[in-house]
Amino acid sequence: MLINSFNLFISIVLATCLVILQETMSNIFWLISVDMPVSLGIFLNTYFNNLYAMNLSGAIPLIALIAIGFLIAYFVTKIILIWVKVSKSYAYAFAGAAAILAIVLLMPFAFYNLDILAGGRSVLGKTILTFFGLLSGYYFGKKLEKQEMA
C-alpha cells in the first residue's frame, strides 16, 4: 500500500512537471516568434520559476488539481479493472490521459471561458498535455504490474 501511494505521488509529480514544461515551452516559443532573445539559462530559470509559481504561490496549486483528476481517474480505472481484463499499464495510461484532458477542457468553464494554461489553448497543446497524462498513467500502471509480479 505504501509503495502504491509513493508511485501515485511520483505519477502526479511527473505529470505536473511535464505540464509545466509544456506550458513554459509554449511561452518561450511565442517569445522566440516575436524575436525576443531566449537562452537556455532563461528557459531553465523560467521553468523552475513556473514550477514554484504554479504550485506554491497561486490560489489553486496545479499539483492539487492534477492530483484530484488522477485520483478520480485511477479510482474509476481500479473499479473497471475488476470486470475488464486489460493490462494495467494501458488502463492507467488511458486514465491519466483522460484526467489531464478533462482538466484542460473543463478549466475554462471554471474561469469564465479563459484557458489558464497557455500551452493548452491549441489542439496541438491539448494533445501534448494529454500525451503527458498518458505517460504518467503508464508509469503508475507499469509500477503496479511490477509490484504484482514480485
Write out pLDDT tens, residues 45-89: 999 999 998 888 767 888 999 999 999 999 999 999 999 999 999
CA dist list (Å): 50 to 22, 41, 106, 108? 11, 14, 22, 20
SS3 99: helix
Helices 40-56 & 2-33 angle (0-180, nearest 10)? 130
Q: Is the pLDDT of residue 16 over 90?
A: yes
In the chain, where the domains are located = 2-149
> Computed from CA positions of residues 62, 121, 110, 103, in that sequence, does the dihedral angle turn out positive or negative?
negative
Look at the block and give the residue holding cell 503508475: 140
At residue 71, the pLDDT reads: 96
pTM reported for the whole predicted model: 0.90
Cα–Cα distance measured from residue 119 to residue 135, given in angstroms and rounded to the nearest whole number: 17
DSSP 120: G
Q: Is the pLDDT of residue 115 over 80?
A: no
